[in-house]
Structure 1
Amino acid sequence: MANPRELSDEEKKQVLEYVLEEIALSSVSLRKATKSAIGFFKLDNLSPSTVLNWIEAFEKHEQYARAREDRADNIFEEILDIVDCEDHDMGIDEKGNPRVNHDVIQRDRLRVDARKWMLGKMQPKKYGDKLDVTSDGEKLEGGVTIFQLPDNGRD
């Protein structure tokens, strides 16, 4: 096994490419991709901060940003897969009658909600909640809008 400090620059670049590919294709975090690289390259250890240092040293910022964008798009696709999957939505009770498996449906709802929340945090411009700044469904024109507070019977 090798220590990451003992790797040549070429070997570090190979490990870094592997980590970036894991993030982009497997939709995993930097931490999980780093752990995967430890096993794949038979390293003694490797920390996410070391990988971030390599990203800086080898000027791989754009590739890292692209991998993160790809990860978000893959997570979006996972949401569709979860929603479209009906494999275990129905079950058979002890009398042989079909029954809805509410536990599976709740678990899928949790998985989708967690991914939606993550996407909103990871890429708020693309996947975050959009604020509709309108007034009675009409777009506001330039200028200042003054709101009148209700009187509530005060003088």
Structure 2
Amino acid sequence: MSANAARKHSDYCLRRPETAEDWQAYHAIRRRVFNLPRPEVDQSPDSFPLVLFVGSLPVGAIQVDRLGEHAAALRLVAIDSSCQGCGHGRVMLRQAEDFVRDLGCCQAVVYATPEAAGFYMDSGYDEEDWDPVCLGGIVQMQKKLR
């Protein structure tokens, strides 16, 4: 087991970017994993960009979008390529689900690639067509949160 995989969960922090450095880390991870440019427009008030830190090292980025009173979407879930395979994704998913609960929502939904669907199934997500206009090739998944 690598040193990163052995880290205690208390070493992790999923939070909104607060500084210019945090924002740079958020966009850099998204750019490296998804080849996404930095957005030019402000986020919606129901959109929450988050960065996963291990200590002071940014290792992941995710966007949580409130879809209504009861559900939130986990979008662009990304662990920096150099940090993948160490368990950071599972920690980020659990902490993102806590964030969704803190928003008052009881359901998390995600668009998953077929390659990532097993990861979400192992984390308690079920295939569920929740978006009628979803493009083909994407697996729609949902999880009821307690």
TM-score after normalising by structure 2: 0.28
Greater Rg over alpha carbons, structure: 1
TM-score after normalising by structure 1: 0.26
